[in-house]
Structures are given as structure tokens and as C-alpha cells.
Amino acid sequence: MVTKRSPARVLMKVLGALALVAGVAFLIMRTAKSARSEPYTLPPEALGSWSLSIETASAPNDPVIVLRPPRALSQALFDQTFKRAMESMRAPDTQGIALALQGELAGRLTPDELLQLARRAGLESDAPTARCVGHRHLPEPDTREQAFFAIFDSPAFVTFRKELGARLGPGFDAGFVSPVMFIGIVETSMSRWQPLHTDPAADCLAPIVSAGR
């Protein structure tokens, strides 16, 4: 004799199964979020000297002068971001902090003048301090396009931008460029993100610390 199950019992079993699936999904998402918020660690060799570089720029948002980090720093951040994000990403063509863009300068200062201004501001002698790793993605329908970047604290960067403004006049916006370094981009191009104005309170995923701290 076949016993018929009541609709209520069937419904309860279905709801129980759905609750179990939802609970497992929640735990997976919470674990992933927790892993992504763990501090990024920089090895001792990543704390070396930074260097100034003049770049060939064609588009208005292309950087003209860049503060380049030790290779170990950009490599460490890229490797850790790649492992956490589980995304197929690539490193940017120009690695470093963009100090000024082509459209801001419009050829009004020579490369030598820019380098002198940057050195006088202390950009080569006073290395920026890594603050956190940030992440953004574009809105619908381009949510797959993403950028991961490191946000820095740099008094020398602020000084350079202010002195650059004093040279170029009132039309120059010292806050137009933030002290950030792109780590990796996903299914996108750098031109979609430059310049990047950051808000650490909203953009930061995880802090960056030095090994041993």
C-alpha cells in the first residue's frame, strides 16, 4: 500500500533543503569575504627605493610622470590579489603611481622640469606608505570590467601636486589625481579607469602591512 505524503510535509522538506543550500552559500560567501579582507603582506625586499620615470603619453589621461615602486612590491600585491580574487587578470602596462597626466600638462613643462619638481618635493627620498588594496567594477552592463589598486599615503605626492599647481596656474586641479597604483585589471583597459579618484573608506578591501608587523 502506497502512503501518500501530505502537501505540508513535502513543503516542509523542500523548505528545509532550500534553507540548507542557502546556509551553505552564506558560509561560502562569508569565508570568501573574510579571505579577501585579510591584510596583504609586503616582503622586506618590497620596501626598497622608488624611482621617477618619464612616460610617453598620447591620450589626455595617459601618465606623463610616474613614481615606480620596487618590483617586489608590485609583484607581491599582484600575486596576492590574483589568488584571492580568482579572476583572470593582467597587470597594467605602466606600474607605479601616476603623478601627472598628459591632459593636465599640455606640454607646458619639459620632462626635466617635471623631474626637478618631483625630486624637490621629495618623491624619490620619501617613499609612499601603502595603505590598503581597493577594488571597483563598472556598473551594468559592464560589471565584469574590474580594477584592483593600492592606495598610498604620500605627503610628497601632495606637495608635488601643489607645487605643480603653482607653476601651471588656477586652472590646475591638485586633487585630480590620487596616490594610487593599479595592481591588476579584469576584462578592461586602463583608459576606463584613469584618473582614479579614491575614497579609502569606500574603496578599501584589505589593509597592506609589512612582513613581521
Q: Determine the average pLDDT of the residues in 167-180.
A: 93
Question: What's the mean pLDDT when you consider all of the chain?
Answer: 85
Strands (E), 7-62: 40-42, 51-54
In this prediction, residue 22 carries a pLDDT of: 42
In this prediction, residue 58 carries a pLDDT of: 85
pTM of the model: 0.80
Asked if 179 contacts 111 with a C-beta cutoff of 8 angstroms, the reply is no
Helices (H) and strands (E) in the chain, counts: 6, 8
The proportion of the chain whose per-residue pLDDT surpasses 70, expressed as a percent, equals 82
Pick 3 or 184 by higher pLDDT: 184
- In terms of Cβ atoms closer than 10 Å to its own Cβ (0-12, 13-18, 19+), residue 181 is buried
